[in-house]
Chains A and B, each alone.
Chain A
Amino acid sequence: MAIAEELAKKQRVISVAEFFEKNRQILGFDSAPRSLITCVKEAVDNALDACEDASILPDIFVQVARAGDDTFLVTVEDNGPGIVKEQIPRIFAKLLYGSRFHVLKQSRGQQGIGISAAVLYSQLTSGKPTKITSRIGLNDPAHYYELIINTKINEPEILVERTTEWDRPHGTRIEMEIEASYVRGRRQSIHEYLKSTAIVNPHARLTLIEPDGNMMVFDRATDIMPPQPKEIMPHPDGIELGTLIKMLRYTERQKLVSFLMNEFSRMGRKTAEDICKDAAIDPSEIPANISHDQAKHLLGAFRKVRIQAPPMDCLSPIGEDQIYQGLEKEYDVDFISTTTRSATVHSGNPFIVEAGIAFGGSLPKEDRIEILRFANKVPLLYQQGGCAITHAISDVNWKNYDLNQSGGTGIPVGPAVVFVHVASTKVPFTSESKDAIADIPEIMNEIKLAVQEVARDTKNYLSRKKLLERRKDKEEIIKKILPKMVAKVSSILGKEEPDIRPVIAKIMGNVLVQREVTSKADGCFVSLKVRNFDEHARSFKLHELFKYDVLEAPEAKIMKVGNSTSLVWKISLVPGEQKVLSYNIECSGTPELQAPIAEGIDKEIITGAKVV
């Protein structure tokens, strides 16, 4: 027998299930603590996706209970729409079975691997079947299944199948026994995963019961559902040649121009015709007849002709307010800023970057900042160092934003949490376990811009705060310290306390008005000394109101108001300038005068006059 024939005997098809059985680290089952997180995560992701599709405010219950020496029973239950009876076995016990793989729409799950991989992991490590309960409505019974995956043929095997009593009107419950270990107090833990999930899903209520019976509730911060993402056609920008050729071959359209208009998003008749013209192909050409070279020209035309950015409604960003509420709920901080950027495209896939920063409060000052990474509303817990989000944050020069960063690059140090969410119809992960986003330049750039935007807000907040503090310092001086000093100094010398308003005006950088009255035989001479101690020029009006007759008042506008007289001066003072306004009134003895009245100036920056 020829060697080739000998070898051919050994060659056979490997089932997907068998492949994953041997390579489970690819899907995130590489260590005991991680396997637990992955199982919970897959179940919770599915629950959130299901609730969102059905516009139900999610209420998700997670329980991790000790089952054996090193096995745990994981239960995840949701109030979602439930699953029709026929679908249950394949959704949970067949790999690569799912509804989302062929759809261009943002969702948590994409390939239909997640939950069935968890089921597979459970059966491999505990040898027990996975138990599913699901109900689609009050008028339908709840169905109960015990399932395992036949790994040779990648098909579900049903061990138990019956209807059951369930108190929920609709929803799904999954129970798996798995080999795992339960950890606490670090970023990669069930608790932190649920906390992060709660931040990006402020419309969800999550309840966790830990193995020791401790219960934690991450309550919802809003009752508003996030908008439903819509399905879209691929966007021509950045589509790959192979994909284009495949689409041309299998389309049912008879003309190139209608193919372009109907199977791509943002492609109107005018744009489609422009593209055909640019590629020098007849618009009525049959798509299947387009040659390899022509397809290349078409691709080139996609790049040249201006095409509108892809529609955003296929994406469901969390929203600036929701991120704000989420961060505010989970962190005790002084300042939060959030942003949602507008949509852009990478390889034909629209994406949106959102960023948030939480600053100050009880966050540690000496540690590196905490980075919260999310892709399509799913927290990323592993491989922080290999993720585009981390790389983009490290690229930002944080010194410009008042955070410490040795060497001008890397993760900065300071009391801050930086949040980044990348939402896309296709998030480019570095591996199937979906731990880190790949360094796609378009995505990196958007992340950087988003982070810089919220960092800028933080810097503005800090300088505002500094200004306020300086103002507060000054008030402490004039209200507390100076009066005590005046009292002490005067008492030591046995002298009367001097008028310190001029000193106060100087310290505060204010405009000071001082009035002096001299009574003489021919009337009362009044002078108003006005001085600007501020660093800015000041313009305002000054009034004197009294019931005496005016003998002389140069520069003033004199008005009669009932039986009172009003004098008005228009005053402009450059920094440091002083003016003396004087007038003479008919009165014997000391005149009764009220405080001068100022108009058109803030009361904080004038001393010695009442502001109206």
Chain B
Amino acid sequence: MLEKDELTQRKLLHLINGFYTQLESGEIPALLLPTRTKANIAYDDESEVWVYGERESTRSAKTTRGAYQLLKTSYVVDFVNTQLKQAKSSTLRELYYISENWDLAKFGEQQESDRLIEDLEIVSELQREDFHIRPEEDGASIMGPLRIREKTRRGTKTIHCQEDVGEAGYQVPCNVDALEFLEHDARLVIAIETGGMRDRLIENEFDEKFDAIIIHLKGQPARSTRRLMKRISEELKLPVAVFTDGDPWSYRIFASVAYGSIKSAHLSEYMAAPAAMFVGIRPSDIINYELPNDKLTDQDIRALHSLLSDPRFDSEFWRSEVNLQLELNKKSEQQSLAKYGLDFVTDTYLPERLTEMGII
């Protein structure tokens, strides 16, 4: 067994041994975990990202819910342990399906098993890759003046993310740490939420005109995408701009890139890129640019109110923008800029905004 895997195994068995000791000494088995809510994330001055705070909650076999979770935890550890011994790996989805055979310890839905793996990451201070568990996520794509080297199964490949790729760009692998950035001529990185806008920028040759590395986030970004943003931001020392729709869900996308997400705050230091900046669409753009818009739904309104109590959004900028949006009762998409023609976003909106923010 690899040394790394042995360490993982030791940490997992330590956890199980904790349960055993509790049972043996007549204590009700329990597990302490940080509370994973927005009320329990704190800003870490050193890493400049949001991590879990002091609050902990106990998962105890005193309740049926807690007892089931601990039972499932034991089964997952057993599974991971065996996997490590046999030098195999599996996906999150496979783990969910394997639990079909676990009788009472079977997961009701994949979300539940995904979450349990995150819990294991937190208590063991490891990452799911250490458990040989892979995500199924759709990673980001890159287009821009950047040369990378990737270790693949068929040897090491060097790829230029403009010259050596098709229209779809360079597809980032799951394991971002297998990449090496060789050289670049870029002045900025711009991360785009939607595919339509990403294609618009490429068709309008934004990457060439502005020496930009264009990254497609594909909605709520996968871990690999966020890790990539973090590495580009820190290793290439380039400004990172995030360009999304103008609704609460998009602001959350930006927050998870820049500040770290609530669900995986234990990995913020590894994945969040605090230098990233929010370009838009801002609620004030809806008025200033007279953008075509939609009415907020009830869920939108609830999500906006929730942002107001989210410590990550506790700044003058966000407070005024969120309150403005609630007042307007409107939201706009990135592509609504097309009202002023297809070139407006690349010729006017982005250059103006990026200049204003001091990025170009």
Contact = CB atoms under 8 A, between A and B. Distances in A.
Interface of A: 473, 476-477, 480-482, 484-486, 488-493, 495, 498, 500, 502-503, 506-507
Contacts of B74: 485, 488-489, 492
Interface SS of chain B = helix
Given A477-B67, A492-B81, A486 B23 contact: yes
Contacts of B63: 473, 477
A503 B28 contact: yes
A488 B28 CA distance: 16
Contact of A489 (B20, B62, B67): B20
B104 A484 contact: yes
A486 B19 CA distance: 9
16 contacts: A482-B61, A484-B71, A484-B104, A485-B61, A486-B23, A489-B23, A492-B13, A492-B16, A492-B74, A492-B77, A492-B81, A503-B26, A503-B27, A506-B26, A507-B28, A507-B61
B71 A481 contact: yes
Most chain B CB atoms below 10 A, which of A473, A489, A490, A506? A489
Given A473-B63, A476-B64, A490-B20, A506 B70 contact: no
B78 interface: yes
Contact of B105 (A484, A500, A503): A484
Given A484-B104, A498-B24, A489 B61 contact: no
Contact of A507 (B19, B62, B71, B78): B62
Nearest to B82: A492
A500 B23 CA distance: 6
Given A493-B20, A503-B22, 17 more contacts: A473-B63, A477-B63, A477-B64, A481-B68, A481-B71, A484-B103, A485-B61, A485-B70, A488-B71, A489-B74, A492-B16, A493-B17, A503-B26, A503-B28, A506-B27, A506-B28, A507-B61
A485 B71 contact: yes
A484 B74 CA distance: 10
A2 B172 CA distance: 111
A577 to B, nearest CB: 15
B344 to A, nearest CB: 49
Interface in B1-49: 13, 16-17, 19-20, 22-24, 26-29
B80 to A, nearest CB: 10
A490 B27 CA distance: 16
B17 A482 contact: no
A498 B20 CA distance: 8
Given A503-B26, A506-B26, A506-B28, A481 B64 contact: yes
A482 B13 contact: no
Contacts of A503: 22-23, 26-29, 61
Contacts of A506: 26-28
B19 A485 contact: yes
Contacts of A476: 64
Contacts of B68: 481
Contacts of B24: 498
A488 B105 CA distance: 11
Contacts of A502: 26
A502 to B, nearest CB: 3
Given A481-B104, A492-B13, A498-B20, A473 B64 contact: yes
A398 B169 CA distance: 63
Contacts of B16: 489, 492-493
Interface string B263-294: 00000000000000000000000000000000
A491 B75 CA distance: 11
Contacts of B103: 484
A465 to B, nearest CB: 16
Nearest to B19: A489
A485 B68 CA distance: 9
A486 to B, nearest CB: 6
Contacts of A490: 20
Contacts of A485: 19, 29, 61, 67, 70-71, 74
A488 to B, nearest CB: 4
A8 B74 CA distance: 102
Contact of A488 (B62, B64, B78): B78
A498 B29 CA distance: 13
A481 B23 contact: no
A375 B190 CA distance: 76
Contact of A480 (B20, B28, B78, B104): B104
In the complex, which of the residues A484, A488, A495 has the most CB atoms of chain B within 10 Å of its own CB atom?
A: A488
A493 B13 contact: yes
A506 B61 CA distance: 11
Of B13, B16, B26, B61, chain A has the most CB atoms within 10 Å of the CB of B26
B307 to A, nearest CB: 29
Nearest to B23: A498
Task: Rank and list the top 5 A-B pairs by shortest CB-CB distance, nearest first.
Answer: A502-B26, A498-B24, A481-B67, A488-B74, A485-B71
Contacts of B26: 502-503, 506
Given A477-B61, A477-B64, A503-B27, A488 B75 contact: yes
Contacts of A482: 61, 67
